[in-house]
Structure 1
Amino acid sequence: MTAAVLGVIGGSGVYDLPGLEEIREERIDSPWGEPSDTLRIGRIGETKVVFLARHGRGHRLSPSGINYRANIDVLKRAGVTDLVALSACGSFRNELHPGLFVLVDQFVDRTHGRASSFFGNGCVAHVAFAHPVGPGLQKRIAAAAEAEDILVHRGGTYVCMEGPQFSTLAESKSYKAQGFDVIGMTNMPEAKLAREAEITYATIAMVTDFDCWHPGHDAVDVAAVIAVARANADRAARLVARLARDFPREREACPAGSDRALDGAILTAPAHRDPGLVAKLDAVAGRMLRS
């Protein structure tokens, strides 16, 4: 059995993880380039936890400037099996109010120009992605929230826009009309890459605003967003700490198949694979490429 290692990606307002003990900082080299920051590796209870600030400490990186492939690659190299993404988001529903945590289970990708796969010419692979969030991991997050008396809404669709500008009013109304629940700028291609790396992924989407569709909230103000994000950060840290304390010692099989996502996914015959790309895939796909 594989030991469970919990990864946590901190989004806007979350640049550290209080409660992490026996901390060491480690910079892991990646063939995909520079990750957002050094990894903070430690323990919460008996669980090994690896934390990465998505935008870098000091919020140096824009959503479009994040090297998502390097981030997922170094988390995989650090042994992460299950990954929780903390992400600020806007809401398209009155009942999903600022301060609420939404455990989304679907994504719609409206980004462009971001590298969204580890695979490509020379080593082609197609992974199943119908259910991008690990149901078991989401269930554990919901249980931790209940234990900590933190209000969460379970289920919903997160539309990921490119940014860095917020939506136009027409875009916001269009997304709302399509039935999307929340909007953010960072969970794509992050979730896609986690699936390719066979890391089980789940998002805690922390609502900071109503986006600009709302008649009483017709513009998104950065200062207000960050204020709510920082207020959310304390509860997010408490939620993650409870999740970690109750986490299993061994990795659980994922009902969505994220732990075996590469089974049958690589189409390129061994004799026709690009050695350079295969070398870069040593962490992400080594289980399959070495077999």
Structure 2
Amino acid sequence: MTQASSTAPVGIIGGTGLTTLSGLTIAGESSVSTPWGEPSAPLVEGRLGEQSVIFLSRHGNPHRIPPHQVNYRANILALYEAGVRTVVGVNAVGGIHPDMGPAHVVVPDQIIDYTWGRGSTFFEGDLDSVTHIDFTFPYDAGARQALIDAARRESVPFSDFGVYGATQGPRLETAAEIRRMERDGCDLVGMTGMPEAALAAELGMRYVCLGLVVNWAAGKSDHIITMEEIEEAIEQGMSGVKTILASSMAQLGQLSPMPRPS
């Protein structure tokens, strides 16, 4: 892992349960626009510990934008244009793997994309040439290690692996769909992991997911999924997510920027 001193802000994209970030010393916020439209919410600038950060609420604040209607291109480009080169995407997910139950924290290492119809690339329209990015490892190794080190240092129970299956939403999945995803190798299911990770890769940004399991996936428990269950898991597990974020900031901030694909 190559590291260098950096003053670039770390981007944090908050999902369900993380529309605001406690412990963030706010310096200001800005409403911005991009060639792809407006991001979900204003960019909140501040510091988390000694590290400058820019926080963006993925679903808006208040929480109002469903997963399939998030303007992922505007969100990622807005952070990039604000100087962010490392992004932590915080995601609420369903647990498929037997060790990944409600309130458990996961730092996944792979993605399978089941979404459709979303604006999923910057490389379209009037192009000089077709561009294909390498996406073998969708989550940056250095950023993953920073989260893993922080979780171990702070004694937060977590898993350092997992395949994130990204579904379309906003409905939850059927039990048969989850069985198919399990056969495909998925350990987690969520609705916002893609195209966010791929768009960050297209801009050469380091991207990592910090997942909080908020329910057992469909068919993995003896009852239907309720919002009460999800809210209880968020209340139990979000403190661990915030602890990892705060403890990892210094290491994330030292990661050197990567070249932008062309």
Task: Give the TM-score of the pair, scaled to structure 1.
Answer: 0.84
C-alpha distance in 2 between matches for 1:209 and 1:52: 24
1:243 matches 2:242: no
Residue segments in structure 1 that go unaligned for 5+ positions in a row: 254-258, 267-291
- The offset of 1:156, in angstroms, is 1.3
**Which residue of structure 2 aligns with residue 141 of structure 1?**
147
Q: Is the 8 A contact 1:103 1:138 kept in 2?
A: yes
C-alpha distance in 2 between matches for 1:217 and 1:191: 33
CA spacing shift, 1:106–1:146, aligned 2, 3 Å? same
- Tell me which amino acid in the other structure corresponds to 2:142: G
Q: Is the 8 A contact 1:14 1:230 kept in 2?
A: no
**Which residue of structure 2 aligns with residue 283 of structure 1?**
none
- The offset of 1:108, in angstroms, is 0.6
Rg (Cα) greater in structure: 1
**Which residue of structure 2 aligns with residue 8 of structure 1?**
12
1:161 matches 2:139: no
Identity within the alignment, %: 33
1:151 matches 2:150: no
- The offset of 1:227, in angstroms, is 2.5
- The offset of 1:248, in angstroms, is 5.9
CA spacing shift, 1:135–1:169, aligned 2, 3 Å? same
Coordinate RMSD, CA, aligned: 1.6
**Which residue of structure 1 aligns with residue 198 of structure 2?**
192
Q: Is the 8 A contact 1:127 1:261 kept in 2?
A: no
1:227 matches 2:226: no
CA spacing shift, 1:90–1:22, aligned 2, 3 Å? closer
Ranges of 4+ aligned residues in structure 1 off by more than 6 Å: none
- The offset of 1:4, in angstroms, is 3.4
**Count, aligned residues:** 256
Q: Is the 8 A contact 2:86 2:207 kept in 1?
A: yes
- The offset of 1:44, in angstroms, is 1.9
- Tell me which amino acid in the other structure corresponds to 2:226: D
Task: Give the TM-score of the pair, scaled to structure 2.
Answer: 0.92
Q: Is the 8 A contact 2:87 2:205 kept in 1?
A: yes
C-alpha distance in 1 between matches for 2:175 and 2:201: 33
**After superposition, what is the alpha-carbon deviation per residue over 1:221-265, rounded to whole angstroms, capped at 9, x for unaligned?**
122112312332222122111111x33654326xxxxx2250xxx
**Which residue of structure 1 aligns with residue 59 of structure 2?**
55
